[in-house]
Amino acid sequence: MSTTKLIYFPLKGVGEPIRWLLKYGNIEYEDILIGFDDWPKIKPTTPFGQIPLYEENGKKINESIAISRYLGKKVNLIGENDWENLEIDAIVDTINDLRLKLKKYGYEKDEKIKEQVKGPLFNEIRLKLKKYGYEKDEKIKEQVKGPLFNEILPYYMERMEKIAEANNGYLAINKLTWADFYFIGILDYFNYMAEMDILKGKPVLEKLREKVTNIPAIKEWIAVRPDTWYM
């Protein structure tokens, strides 16, 4: 019986890079999937109300990036010295900055939709006129996504493309590291939030995705991963 466990929702999200590192290292583990109905019961039992949690030999720990770094070392996807590891850590935290910006826009969008829909329609009517809500949705999405599409995403993706160009096609230190696993592993979630393929028109990053997703252990996992994990 496996003593290694990953506790997360049945989706990709920030848990997927952890799964990829475990698969890559051929580490046997249990994917414990928390349904959204069960989450309110489980949330108070977690260290800071968040998952993923990683468990090894009965010890549990939170924070997806910290866990990914730990596994990156275990499966030998790290640098050869401290400065190289600093370069890996810096690009991963930069990717996380982008995640928070994507999330922020998602959140603003939802708040604005709520306000606008709440105004003209009462609750019961709103439920009957879901179509109305959807129409509003598209309009507002465009409005709040302006800065995201015109400024933030191009800014980050242009710089990351250049970094990959300068690093032999990888995100750091000229070779495959857990930073590449982190980015390509979380990419479906980013694309879900952005509602587009953020690598479009970035050939070096597109090639990196191809390389990572064609690693046998990753390719195999993607083939059997539930289709219902839409994000």
Number of residues that bind a copy of itself (CB under 8 A): 31
Stretch that binds a copy of itself, among 88-96, 135-143, 185-193, 219-227 (CB under 8 A): 88-96
- Binds a copy of itself (CB under 8 A): choice among 5, 73, 126, 211: 73
Q: Which is nearer to a copy of itself, 94 or 116 (CB)?
A: 94
Q: DSSP labels for 101-167?
A: HHHHHHHHHHHHHHHHHHTTS-HHHHHHTHHHHHHHHHHHHHHHHHHIIIIIHHHHHHHHHHHHHHT
**Shortest gap between Cβ of 101 and a copy of itself (angstroms)?**
11
- Binds a copy of itself (CB under 8 A): choice among 86, 125, 166, 196: 86
CA dihedral of residues 217, 220, 226, 231 (deg, nearest 10): 60
150-169 binders of a copy of itself (CB under 8 A): 155-156, 159
- Closest to 65 (Cα-Cα) out of 169, 181, 211: 181
Stretch that binds a copy of itself, among 3-11, 12-20, 80-88, 130-138 (CB under 8 A): 80-88
CB atoms within 10 A of CB 8: 22
Stretch that binds a copy of itself, among 1-9, 14-22, 69-77, 136-144 (CB under 8 A): 69-77
Rounded to an integer, what is the distance from CA 209 to the centroid of its chain? 14
Assess 122 for contact with a copy of itself (CB under 8 A): no
Q: Which is nearer to a copy of itself, 76 or 214 (CB)?
A: 76
Residue 4 DSSP SS3: strand
